Structure 1
Amino acid sequence: MSLLTTVMDHSLDEGYAEAAARKKDSGTTGVPKPLRAKLGLAAGLVLAALVVTVGAAQARVEAPVLAKERSELIDRVESATADADDLEDEVDDLRGDVSARQRAALEKHGGSRAELVSLLSGATAVHGPGVKLVVDDKKEADQGGGGPRESAGFSDTGRVRDRDMQRVVNGLWESGAEAIAINDQRLTALSAIRAAGDAILVDNRPLVPPYTVLAVGDGQKLSTRFQNSRDGQYLHSLQENFGIRTSISAVDDARLPAAPSVTVRTAEPKAGKGTS
């Protein structure tokens, strides 16, 4: 009976009692660990939701300001573009007026040879039989320099150079061309073909390949003479050795525009010194 009494009076082990007493003294609650983990996760989610909510609210506040700035920038770009277009139209009108005045001056002072002078100076548009010569870069032409032609101001990268087009034009003049245009850019006695990087400039206007050269003259004869000339053979060499693509054909009606502006220059004989 004393054993049963002892079991009834001390149902918990003394070790458990001591552990419970320590928890009570340290203030630790009896919340299970899984529940504590869930409570921590819930607190983290609440904090994250709070951050997202604050960020969204701030974005809604700043959105009208950004939209306004973007709209103002677009308006400025469109306004500047419109101004540039207006200036370009004004320049074209002025060029047309200058060309008309130049043609009138040539007709007034050229006498019976006014038409010929106007033609040779490029002041008027012309059309007639001639040749069409197309010069283009090699397929997948390299942008770099170097190579056998570099020492002579060229490169063998497969790109057409300004010196190439100079020789083409000079060869056509020498072969009997009466008027020449490259990509609708009329050439005159004062025209210059230059380079700016990899671009070719004709009278300071950049052109892009393919370069279409129209020349007015006796079509078939002009074509034959050019191909047999030194410059024609040079162009053929570029095609054979560097992959430059070329084609030439006679045309019945080549139409060349007038030069955008013609500088008219006059010369007077200088009076010599008298002799006794």
Structure 2
Amino acid sequence: MSLLTNVMDHSLDEGYAEAAARKKAENAGGMPKTLRAKLGLAAGLVLAALVVTVGAAQARIAAPVVAKEREELIDRIDRETAVADKIEDSVDELRDDVSARQREALKKHGGDRGELVGILSGAVEVHGPGVKLVVDDAKEADQSGDSDARETSGFSDTGRVRDRDLQRVVNGLWASGAEAVSINGQRLTALSAIRAAGDAILVDNKPLVPPYTVLTVGDGKRLSSEFQSSADGLYLQALHENFGIRTALSVEDDVQLPAAPSVIVRTAEPSTEKGTS
């Protein structure tokens, strides 16, 4: 009976009893945890609101300054652009004047053949019978340049026309009797260069886009026949058959070629030095 009495009188372990008493004492002497958490959250929200308010006030104060600086920058860009446009117009006018003077010099010093010199040098406009040759990329040409439709000299080509293709075409036309040649309205001279810059083709540093229209002045029928039977004409035909590059050659009664935009005048004088044997 004494054991049962002891169990009934001490049903809660003494350690639990001490912990409960200590917790009760802490709650009695301070603020409840729930209340403290709520107060901490409220303080944090107040602090965040204060930071946002201060930031907004600073932004509102700085806004007029930023807007003024932006307007000043835009005005400066407009002024500099206007100056650049004016200089570019002046350069174009001077270039046209120089070209006109060069053409006059060619006519003046060409003697009886002044007109022929002007035509051959590209200094004057020319028109007459000739040939029209259109060269265009293949329909399935890969514009990204990653296809291996053509592979030459260790690098891959696509079905697009390359600068070396136009070089061969132009040289073949000259050799076949062309008196004047232009590509997409760009007149060629003895000093003209056809080069590549990436995937673009440049004629005298001016980019061209396909299709490439090559106009020539000369005896149209003879020019067409001799070009097609030449090595360069056969090369162009091979590009069409093997890689799908499109070509169209026609004899024209009258084609018009513009003058070259700029002509470099060079002179040569006989040497006075005696050679050694």
Alignment CA distance shift 1:115-1:72 (3 Å): same
CA contact (8 A) 2:186 2:260 kept: yes
Structure 2 spans left out of the alignment, 5+ residues: 1-20
1:223 has 2:224 as partner? yes
In the alignment, the residues of structure 2 paired with residue 232 and residue 240 of structure 1 have an alpha-carbon distance, to the nearest angstrom, of 13
1:79 has 2:79 as partner? yes
Could you tell me which residue of structure 2 aligns to residue 14 of structure 1? Answer: none
1:28 has 2:31 as partner? yes
1:149 has 2:152 as partner? yes
Which letter maps to 2:261? P
Percent identity over the alignment?
70
Could you tell me which residue of structure 2 aligns to residue 176 of structure 1? Answer: 177
In the alignment, the residues of structure 2 paired with residue 24 and residue 90 of structure 1 have an alpha-carbon distance, to the nearest angstrom, of 91
Deviation at 1:119, TM superposition (A): 0.7
Equivalenced residue count is: 255
Structure 1 spans left out of the alignment, 5+ residues: 1-17
In the alignment, the residues of structure 1 paired with residue 22 and residue 151 of structure 2 have an alpha-carbon distance, to the nearest angstrom, of 95
Deviates more, 1:123-132 or 1:70-79: 70-79
In the alignment, the residues of structure 1 paired with residue 253 and residue 52 of structure 2 have an alpha-carbon distance, to the nearest angstrom, of 75
CA contact (8 A) 2:193 2:204 kept: yes
Could you tell me which residue of structure 2 aligns to residue 70 of structure 1? Answer: 70
Alignment CA distance shift 1:131-1:25 (3 Å): same
Which letter maps to 1:79? R
In the alignment, the residues of structure 2 paired with residue 88 and residue 183 of structure 1 have an alpha-carbon distance, to the nearest angstrom, of 24
In the alignment, the residues of structure 2 paired with residue 133 and residue 171 of structure 1 have an alpha-carbon distance, to the nearest angstrom, of 12
Measured on the aligned residues, the alpha-carbon RMSD in Å equals 3.3
Alignment CA distance shift 1:25-1:74 (3 Å): same
Alignment CA distance shift 1:221-1:36 (3 Å): farther
In the alignment, the residues of structure 2 paired with residue 156 and residue 61 of structure 1 have an alpha-carbon distance, to the nearest angstrom, of 60
CA contact (8 A) 2:145 2:157 kept: no
CA contact (8 A) 1:150 1:156 kept: no
Q: Deviations over 1:115-172 (max 9, x none)?
A: 1111111001122333332333343334359763134xx7423333221111011111
Alignment CA distance shift 1:249-1:65 (3 Å): farther
Task: Calculate the TM-score normalised by the size of structure 1.
Answer: 0.76
